[in-house]
């Protein structure tokens, strides 16, 4: 009864403050604005379920069309996405991964029981060479997640040497394995979730461990590592405080993980079957990330007012129950228009905070959690989340343009309050403005008026993502139920731009 009353109050509150019309004042003349790092559109790939095997790597002898073992359809999808950075090999897997098992002739590689993810036995056929060659081929910055939980300092030090040194015995071993020139490796994560699957450590203890491992991860042959210390999960502000207190001068960045998940015990809810109430619960939980980020930033500001240490959100996204009938350890979930909305709201939030937030890696790129791409044998679909990442990638390396607007609130049944409208503006190198907009309401369109400091827009083009049903998703072997379409509903008015965002839609405009 109490819950019902609260729900009613929540619905009433939402109705009372609903945005039906919003005026966005775009300050395109503002000077000295930050560049949105492309890395905000980062991805994460783990040896988990079908992410690497089948999802990316099928091997040269596969009947699935491939380029040197990488499946062709997925490579093409990654190219269009403009993946800026890819984290690998985990996740929890990373702290049980021993890189030496994944080099040398494929037939000699050790077989590995993946203790974290379904006890699947894998053959290590995708290792350092396969990962770094993939990155090189696609112009992706690799982000290596080093083993601190079960690996030694020497092992991590030698891995860095193997990947990046021009000379010495590690370079010779690499050359013997077919790669003479070192790769360029920028990002090095020193442990993952060291408070949990990565070693179950306290913040105090890990801060010392971090310094020890980081010290021996050297810069070779002109390669400059950017070292990322393991950070907190969600609301663990103490971890951030201790790490900043004890180790801030030894790191380039501190990480953070925030999943849009109902809880860590019991059902997390279905990815495709959900009520209206559950839809808003998920959206409000995902938007709470802004408050969580601000709280971590405030702690970092206290120790590092000049913002020398970045925050890197190297795992984020939705986490639902696995699809019925699939391996519970493989975290394979479908991806609906709700996930697309989650992606749009998050990306718009992240882009407002890039003075401290320098990278974000959605979990994960293929077949795991909020994936870009799903595969079923030789079949592949692009998910609604993929489309948002592709539509929004015009913001990568563009200059942030401040914009003011007033929103109403949506109050979820769980009592969280979120903005009921979202927008972000940037200007690319060619001077074009891009505006990404999201209307989370399931049942209300919103009319938007964009006003500019001085610009008189001449042309407006756009793309829209919406679906007939909010739980629509793209099924293998069927015509896509969620795909972007040209949006012709935005009009240049002489003074600005006017458009109506349909309910539950995401739009990106290009304005000149």
| 46/321 with CB nearer ligand AHR | 46
| 42/69 with CB nearer ligand AHR | 42
| Closest approach of ligand AHR to the CB of residue 238, in Å | 19
- Is the separation of the CB atoms in 112 and 125 below 8 Å? no
- Segment near ligand AHR (CB under 6 A), from 9-17, 66-74, 86-94, 440-448? 86-94
Closest C-alpha to 490, from 429, 430, 423, 443: 423
| 126/183 with CB nearer ligand AHR | 126
| Closest approach of ligand AHR to the CB of residue 456, in Å | 47
**176: how many CB neighbours lie within 10 A of its CB?**
11
| Closest approach of ligand AHR to the CB of residue 289, in Å | 16
- Identify the sign of the CA torsion 38, 510, 498, 387: negative
Q: Which of 96, 290, 315, 414 is catalytic?
A: 315
Bridge-based pairing of strands 399-401 and 120-122 is: unpaired
Nearest-angstrom CA–CA distance, 423 and 425:
7
| 182/198 with CB nearer ligand AHR | 198
User: Per-residue x/- mask for ligand AHR, residues 278 to 317, rule CB under 6 A?
Assistant: -------------------------------------x--
| Phi, psi of 394, rounded to the nearest 5 degrees | -65, -20
Instruction: Give pairs for 128-134: CB < 8 Å, separation 24+.
Output: 128/99, 128/102, 128/103, 128/159, 128/162, 128/163, 129/103, 129/177, 129/178, 129/179, 130/57, 130/69, 130/102, 131/88, 131/89, 132/163, 132/183, 132/185, 133/68, 133/179, 134/56, 134/70, 134/86
228 binds ligand AHR (CB under 6 A): no
| Phi, psi of 374, rounded to the nearest 5 degrees | -120, 145
| Closest approach of ligand AHR to the CB of residue 322, in Å | 12
Q: Which of 54, 122, 130, 193 is catalytic?
A: 193
Nearest-angstrom CA–CA distance, 318 and 23:
30
**Which residues face 366 on adjacent strands?**
373
| 69/317 with CB nearer ligand AHR | 317
The footprint of ligand AHR on this chain (CB under 6 A) covers a number of residues equal to 10
Query: At what angle are helices 289-303 and 276-287 packed, to 10 degrees?
Result: 10
Task: Identify the residue among 49, 90, 102, 384 touching ligand AHR (CB under 6 A).
Answer: 90
| Closest approach of ligand AHR to the CB of residue 347, in Å | 19
| 161/193 with CB nearer ligand AHR | 193
Query: Active site includes 414?
Result: no
- Segment near ligand AHR (CB under 6 A), from 126-134, 362-370, 389-397, 476-484? 362-370
Q: Which two tokens stand for residue 240?
A: 């951030």
| 81/369 with CB nearer ligand AHR | 369
- Segment near ligand AHR (CB under 6 A), from 19-27, 88-96, 210-218, 343-351? 88-96
Q: Residue 36: which residues within 8 A CB-CB, separation 6 or more?
A: 351, 354, 395, 396, 397, 398, 399, 400, 426
- Beta strands (DSSP E) in 61-101 are 66-67, 70-71, 85-88
Classified as helix, coil or strand, 268 is coil
User: Per-residue x/- mask for ligand AHR, residues 368 to 407, rule CB under 6 A?
Assistant: -x--------------------------------------
- Is the separation of the CB atoms in 227 and 180 below 8 Å? no
- Segment near ligand AHR (CB under 6 A), from 5-13, 25-33, 87-95, 297-305? 87-95
- Identify the sign of the CA torsion 484, 488, 489, 494: positive
| Closest approach of ligand AHR to the CB of residue 318, in Å | 11
* Site for ligand AHR, residues 254 to 283, rule: CB under 6 A: none
| Closest approach of ligand AHR to the CB of residue 264, in Å | 9
Q: Residue 74: which residues within 8 A CB-CB, separation 6 or more?
A: 55, 56, 366, 373, 375, 380
| Closest approach of ligand AHR to the CB of residue 475, in Å | 24
DSSP for 346-406, please give it.
HHHHHTT-TTTEEEEEEE-SBSSSS-SEEEETTEEEE-HHHHHHHHHGGGTTPEEE-EE--
Task: Identify the residue among 42, 91, 127, 191 touching ligand AHR (CB under 6 A).
Answer: 91
363 binds ligand AHR (CB under 6 A): yes
Residue whose beta carbon is closest to ligand AHR:
91
- Segment near ligand AHR (CB under 6 A), from 21-29, 146-154, 234-242, 361-369? 361-369
92 binds ligand AHR (CB under 6 A): yes
User: Per-residue x/- mask for ligand AHR, residues 184 to 203, rule CB under 6 A?
Assistant: --------xx----------
Nearest-angstrom CA–CA distance, 444 and 427:
29
Query: Active site includes 193?
Result: yes
* Site for ligand AHR, residues 20 to 79, rule: CB under 6 A: 46
HSE-up of 12 (CA within 13 Å, CB side)?
6
- Segment near ligand AHR (CB under 6 A), from 61-69, 90-98, 285-293, 348-356? 90-98
| Closest approach of ligand AHR to the CB of residue 88, in Å | 11
Q: Residue 511: which residues within 8 A CB-CB, separation 6 or more?
A: 432, 433, 434, 435, 450, 455, 457, 459, 460, 492, 497
Which residues lie near ligand AHR (CB under 6 A)? 46, 90-92, 192-193, 315, 363-364, 369
Write out the catalytic residue numbers: 193, 315
């Amino acid at each position: 009864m109490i819950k019902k009353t609260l729900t009613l109050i929540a619905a009433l509150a939402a109705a009372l403050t609903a945005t039906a019309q919003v005026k966005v004042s775009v300050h395109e003349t503002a000077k000295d604005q930050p560049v949105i790092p492309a890395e905000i559109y980062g991805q994460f790939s783990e040896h988990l379920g079908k992410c690497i095997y089948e999802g990316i790597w099928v091997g040269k002898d596969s009947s699935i069309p491939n380029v040197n073992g990488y499946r062709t359809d997925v490579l093409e999808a990654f190219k269009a996405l403009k993946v800026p950075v890819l984290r690998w090999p985990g996740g929890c897997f990373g702290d049980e991964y021993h890189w030496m098992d994944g080099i040398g002739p494929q037939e000699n590689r050790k077989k590995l029981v993946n203790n974290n993810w379904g006890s699947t036995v894998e053959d290590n056929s995708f290792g350092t060479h396969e990962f770094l060659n993939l990155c090189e081929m696609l112009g992706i910055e690799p982000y290596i997640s080093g083993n601190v939980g079960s690996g030694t300092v020497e092992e991590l030090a030698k891995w860095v040497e193997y990947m990046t040194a021009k000379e010495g015995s590690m370079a010779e071993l690499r050359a013997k394995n077919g790669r003479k020139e070192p790769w360029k490796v920028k990002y090095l994560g020193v442990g993952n979730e060291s408070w949990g699957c990565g070693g179950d450590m306290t913040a105090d203890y890990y801060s010392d461990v971090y310094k020890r491992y980081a010290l021996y991860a050297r810069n070779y042959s002109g390669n400059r590592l950017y070292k990322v210390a393991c950070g907190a999960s969600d609301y663990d502000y103490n971890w951030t405080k201790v790490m900043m207190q004890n180790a801030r001068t030894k790191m380039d960045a501190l990480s953070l993980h925030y999943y849009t998940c109902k809880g860590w015990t019991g059902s997390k809810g279905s990815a495709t079957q959900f009520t209206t109430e559950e839809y808003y619960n998920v959206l409000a939980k995902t938007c709470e990330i802004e408050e969580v980020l601000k709280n971590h930033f405030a702690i970092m500001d206290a120790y590092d007012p000049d913002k020398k240490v970045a925050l890197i959100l190297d795992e984020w996204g939705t986490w639902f129950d696995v699809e019925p009938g699939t391996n519970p350890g493989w975290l394979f979930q479908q991806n609906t228009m709700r996930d697309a909305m989650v992606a749009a709201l998050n990306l718009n939030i992240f882009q407002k905070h890039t003075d401290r937030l320098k990278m974000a890696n959605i979990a994960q790129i293929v077949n795991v959690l909020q994936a870009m791409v799903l595969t079923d044998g030789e079949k592949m679909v692009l998910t609604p989340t993929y489309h948002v990442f592709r539509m929004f990638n015009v913001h990568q390396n563009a200059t942030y343009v401040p914009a003011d607007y007033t929103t109403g609130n949506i109050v979820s049944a769980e009592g969280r309050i979120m903005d009921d409208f979202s927008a972000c503006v940037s200007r690319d190198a060619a001077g074009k403005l891009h505006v990404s907009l999201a209307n989370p309401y399931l049942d209300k369109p919103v009319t938007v008026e964009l006003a500019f400091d001085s610009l008189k827009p001449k042309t407006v083009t756009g793309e829209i993502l919406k679906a007939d049903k909010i739980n629509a998703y793209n099924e293998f072997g069927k015509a896509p139920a969620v795909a972007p379409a040209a949006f012709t509903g935005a009009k240049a008015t002489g003074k600005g731009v006017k458009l109506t965002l349909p309910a539950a839609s995401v739009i990106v405009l290009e304005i000149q």
